[in-house]
Amino acid sequence: MSMTDPERIPVIIGVGQVGDRPDDPDRGLDSLGLMVEALKVAAQDAGVPLADIDSLAIVDQISFHHLGKLCEPLAAAIGAAPAINYQSAAPHGDTPIRLLNEAANRIGAGEVKLAAVVGGEALRTAAGRAAKAASGEDKSYNAVRKVATRREPNYAQRHGLSAPVDIYPLYENATRAAWGESLEDAQFESAEIWSRFSEVAAENPGAWIRKPASPADILDVNERNRPIAFPYSKLMVANSSVNQGAGFLVASLAEARRRGIAEDRLIYVGMGAAAKEPASILARDRYDHSVSMETSIARTLDLNGMTVEDFDCVELYSCFPCVPKMARRILGWPWDRPASVFGGLTFGGGPIANYMSHAVVSMVDKLRREGRYGFLFANGGFATDNHCIVLGNRPIAAARFPQDFDHQAEAEEKRGPVPELVEDYAGPATIESYTVFYGRDGAPRAGVVVARTPEGQRTLAHVDVRDAAMLAFLTDGTHEPVGTEGRIVALDEGFGWRRT
């Protein structure tokens, strides 16, 4: 099989994204409705009927979880009967890129000619309906936290580490210390990157918040930018109050030509590479670096025969600042160039697992207008899943499909030793990372320290929020808490952290 056989070369031919802002949540679209609308826009963009798709891949969603598997209802709603029709097993942030890579593989194998990938989340509508059902007083409904706490709490969850907003700060605080930065410098970098996201979003009709925010707006903690988990405030975290859907159509180059799609609207798919961290955050080797992120990014560059210089634009996943900050260092992308084509998860929007579909849509739009190649880095779970891929508005010479995108073995080779976990430890310990959680009123409600014993084992300890001196030590930036020593003491309510 020749790799120049146009029957086997995958190209994106159509993209669509939609947002829904109903006055009354009862009149809003659900996740399925958003997917239908996004696919209709993509089909119109490509000029092909949806009835013709022979593959449909759906990003799992959480906001209307009770709808279950959407394969049949979605196919029926768009009038298609694709031979391949599946939904991802879980709603992880890397899913759209995985589904794109799988579509490219099927086209490369000659199994399909026209594939659709789509996702949608009506988080805002779901929360609005829940609040209405609870007489409008209850603003606490949070689908993200609900999913994270469905089961009996485990050791990490008993220490407050449940939802992504609780956990990613462990990476932020650990990377700051590892990179030898002050709190002020680390926050400044986050704010600069986020401010650029807001500017990209302001220009992007598909983005949710289209008002630019300055670095100062992002850094200033106030009523509208309440603290969430140290050192992140609301304007530094994924926005889960959105209703958005996005999808795209991938075809073989030959099929695109048969359908008369203009060459300058075709976006070529390059090679992708995936690797992941252990699912349990406490079973990771470290929080200041991710070998799976490194593997996914480095392997994608290698496989495409490209360096950072080849990219005119990038999408570095941005649920929380630590993620694009780690990724840009691996890739070599400067902090003062936009790290997103969509607008980031705060301003562009953050529909759980489908963010990267919006990034694909926005990158296709951009590459149709300008530049040559774009690099997409997707992150999922709790900095768990990584999947990168390249897109280009011209053929990508090194691209070969089908390809095995799983590079887990390489990540495992690079992984350092994983510390043993001890659950009931009292005695001297050193801070490996930490965070402080805040309530809706902006007051701290709990804190957690991930600590290492003198033998190198890992353990957790609670921080007493009544201990003002300890809270100041963890949050005022005058000393770096990571790496400092303390003592864990057994208390009635669990194991607590004490400064020595």
Q: Tokens in use for 37?
A: 């609308």
Alpha-carbon separation of residue 274 from 98, 293, 295 (angstroms): 8, 8, 8
The piece of 234-242, 366-374, 460-468, 491-499 that touches ligand ACO (CB under 6 A) is 234-242
Q: Which member of 40, 158, 210, 226 binds ligand ACO (CB under 6 A)?
A: 226
Nearer to ligand ACO, 115 or 411 (CB): 411
**88 is a site residue for ligand ACO (CB under 6 A):** no
CB atoms closer than 10 angstroms to residue 363:
26
Q: Measured from the CB of residue 414, what is the shortest distance to ligand ACO in angstroms?
A: 22
Site map for ligand ACO, 314-353, x if CB under 6 A? -----x--------------------------x---x-x-
**63 is a site residue for ligand ACO (CB under 6 A):** no
Q: Tokens in use for 383?
A: 């900095």
Nearer to ligand ACO, 93 or 247 (CB): 93
The piece of 16-24, 51-59, 61-69, 235-243 that touches ligand ACO (CB under 6 A) is 235-243
Read off the DSSP letter of residue 283.
G
Which run of H or E residues covers position 102? Answer: helix 95-108
Residue type at 190 in one-letter notation: S
**498 is a site residue for ligand ACO (CB under 6 A):** no
Q: Which member of 10, 28, 93, 96 binds ligand ACO (CB under 6 A)?
A: 93
Alpha-carbon separation of residue 375 from 208, 328, 483 (angstroms): 23, 11, 35
**499 is a site residue for ligand ACO (CB under 6 A):** no
**379 is a site residue for ligand ACO (CB under 6 A):** yes
Nearer to ligand ACO, 53 or 165 (CB): 165
Measured in whole angstroms, the distance separating CA 244 from the mean position of its chain's CA atoms is 15
Give phi and psi for 426, each to the nearest 5. Answer: -130, 135
Residue type at 302 in one-letter notation: D
Residue ranges in 265-324 that form contacts with ligand ACO under rule CB under 6 A: 319
**380 is a site residue for ligand ACO (CB under 6 A):** yes
The piece of 30-38, 329-337, 377-385, 489-497 that touches ligand ACO (CB under 6 A) is 377-385
Nearer to ligand ACO, 239 or 292 (CB): 239
Q: Measured from the CB of residue 297, what is the shortest distance to ligand ACO in angstroms?
A: 16
CB 91 within 8 A of CB 120: no
CB atoms closer than 10 angstroms to residue 281:
20
Q: Which residue has the tokens 């194998």?
A: 109
Residue ranges in 160-179 that form contacts with ligand ACO under rule CB under 6 A: 163-165
Q: Which residue has the tokens 């590459």?
A: 367
Q: Which residues, 6+ apart, have CB-to-CB distance to 180 below 8 Å? A: none
Give dist(CA 115, CA 78) in Å, integer: 14
The residues that touch ligand ACO, with contacts defined as CB under 6 A, are 93, 139, 142, 144, 163-165, 226, 228, 234-235, 237-241, 319, 346, 350, 352, 379-381
